């Protein structure tokens, strides 16, 4: 069976003696930095908001630390609870060993929600608008994270006979879908472009519309990607061939529908 050769990537991007920086860490750093730059551009554009943005640049600069902690703590907590609880109950010290991998998007998303709620209420900032900005930049980090998954040769897809199937070093002898790239395209590029188009169309004038759209589109993209992705070995398939990623995406989609419905019922302010 023909298959592409998986590129021999080194998971370590940079090393200085004992100091090692991995591509996965750079993906997080790059996602946060590029997201911060894009968010500042959104906040500065009065046209997108129909007036002055309800969030100042200074406030958002301060928020970066909060959301970074939310992503890391939420992502790790979600992985522990949703994907490998039995293992971590037996080896609790490994919970803090983030350098070994193991992060959950759904947990990270909940961590972001907590950061938005806490920071917004602390500063008196509308939490829906702050959430809209956060979700608008989220696909940048998702794209880079999936590319890092591909470089690491992890989270590979199910066995496939498509011309672009690859044999991954840790995936056995069978050619597999490069599902990391599928997810990078759907959760990163497609999601970013759709949200950007909505923002240009005035979605920020209806607080919560971007939050809801993000949840719906990401949930659908993740479910689609799960049809090509090999489920985690310690979980396998759940009921009826479902995977944990599919199950966790369903409440996201339902919540997103609720946010979009409420946002569309609000009267958007006219541009000034």
Reported as a single tens digit per residue, the pLDDT across 17-27 is: 778 788 888 89
Say if 6 falls within a structural domain.
Answer: no
Chain mean pLDDT for the chain? 90
pTM beyond 0.75: yes
Say if 206 falls within a structural domain.
Answer: yes
Report how many domains make up the chain.
Answer: 1
Tell me what pLDDT residue 95 has: 82
Say if 238 falls within a structural domain.
Answer: yes
Angle at 110 between CA 208 and CA 197, to 5 degrees: 35
Say if 28 falls within a structural domain.
Answer: yes
Q: Is the pLDDT of residue 171 over 90?
A: no
Tell me what pLDDT residue 259 has: 96
Predicted confidence band of residue 41 (pLDDT cuts 50, 70, 90): very high
Alpha-carbon dihedral sign for residues 248, 249, 252, 254: negative
Say if 2 falls within a structural domain.
Answer: no
Tell me the average pLDDT across 223-237.
Answer: 88
The span from the CA of 195 to the CA of 204, in Å, is 10
Task: Give the E-state strand segments of the chain in sequence order.
Answer: 4-5, 12-16, 19-22, 166-167
Say if 8 falls within a structural domain.
Answer: no
Say if 272 falls within a structural domain.
Answer: no
Tell me what pLDDT residue 17 has: 75
Domain residues for 205? Answer: 19-265
Dig out the tokens for 219 from the structure.
């949930």
Q: Is the pLDDT of residue 267 over 80?
A: no
Say if 104 falls within a structural domain.
Answer: yes
């Amino acid at each position: 069976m023909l298959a592409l050769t998986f590129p021999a990537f080194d998971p370590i991007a940079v090393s200085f003696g004992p100091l090692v920086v991995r591509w996965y860490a750079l993906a997080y750093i790059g996602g946060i930095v590029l997201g911060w730059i894009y968010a500042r551009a959104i906040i500065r554009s009065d046209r997108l908001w129909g007036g002055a943005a309800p969030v100042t640049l200074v406030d958002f600069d301060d928020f970066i630390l909060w959301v970074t902690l939310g992503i890391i703590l939420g992502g790790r907590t979600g992985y522990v609870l949703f994907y490998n609880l039995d293992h971590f109950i037996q080896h609790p010290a490994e919970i803090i060993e983030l350098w070994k991998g193991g992060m959950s998007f759904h947990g990270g998303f909940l961590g972001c929600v907590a950061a938005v709620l806490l920071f917004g209420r602390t500063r008196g900032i509308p939490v829906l608008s702050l959430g809209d900005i956060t979700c608008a930049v989220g696909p940048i980090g998702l794209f880079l994270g999936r590319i890092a998954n591909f470089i690491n040769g992890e989270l590979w897809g199910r066995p496939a006979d498509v011309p672009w199937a690859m044999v991954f070093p840790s995936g056995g002898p069978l050619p597999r879908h490069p599902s990391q790239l599928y997810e990078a395209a759907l959760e990163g590029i497609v999601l970013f472009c759709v949200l950007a188009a909505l923002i240009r169309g005035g979605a920020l004038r209806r607080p919560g519309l971007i939050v809801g759209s993000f949840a719906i589109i990401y949930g659908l993209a993740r479910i689609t990607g799960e049809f090509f992705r090999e489920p985690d070995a310690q979980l396998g398939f759940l009921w009826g061939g479902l995977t944990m990623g599919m199950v966790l995406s369903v409440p996201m989609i339902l919540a997103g529908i609720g946010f979009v419905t409420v946002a569309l019922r609000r009267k958007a302010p006219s541009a000034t």
